[in-house]
Amino acid sequence: MHFRSRKVKARAHRTRYFNLRLTEEEYLTLTAKARDAQITKSELLRDHLERVRITPRSDRREVFLAIARLGCNLNQLARWADTCKDAADALEVCLALRHMEERVKDLEAGLIRRGEFEAVS
């Protein structure tokens, strides 16, 4: 695998220094990746800096709340089906479950688009 260092426009002079603490394992991994790419560790980190995607915590909170609401709906549906077995309409229960499945897929697709989740097949 070969990484190319991004070209710096007009050869900007770097004046900032950044100190980073790593475990021995993290340091060895960083060193090996830089060596394999035939670039310095600094170049490797700079190259990957542009590729990092940060998701605001507020976005994650919304997703977790939506999943929690789906869980509550599922519990209510299961409780209703259990207590009202005679009156439970199987088609109504299946439609509600199908709707919740579609919502979960929508949430999953949003997470995949943002790179926060890998689909499990």
pLDDT at 9: 55
Which of 117, 99, 100 shows the shortest CA–CA distance to 108? Answer: 117
Torsion sign over Cα 81, 83, 86, 87: negative
Share of the chain above pLDDT 90, in %: 21
pLDDT in 10s for each residue of the chain, 121 residues: 555 555 555 567 888 888 999 999 999 999 999 999 999 999 999 888 878 777 666 667 777 788 888 888 888 877 777 777 666 577 777 777 788 888 877 777 776 666 555 544 4
pLDDT at 34: 94
- Find tokens 């790179």 and name the residue: 115
The domain limits of the chain are: 9-49, 57-113
pLDDT at 74: 80
Which of 14, 1, 38, 44 shows the shortest CA–CA distance to 26? Answer: 44
Instruction: Tell me the whole-structure pTM to 2 decimals.
Output: 0.41
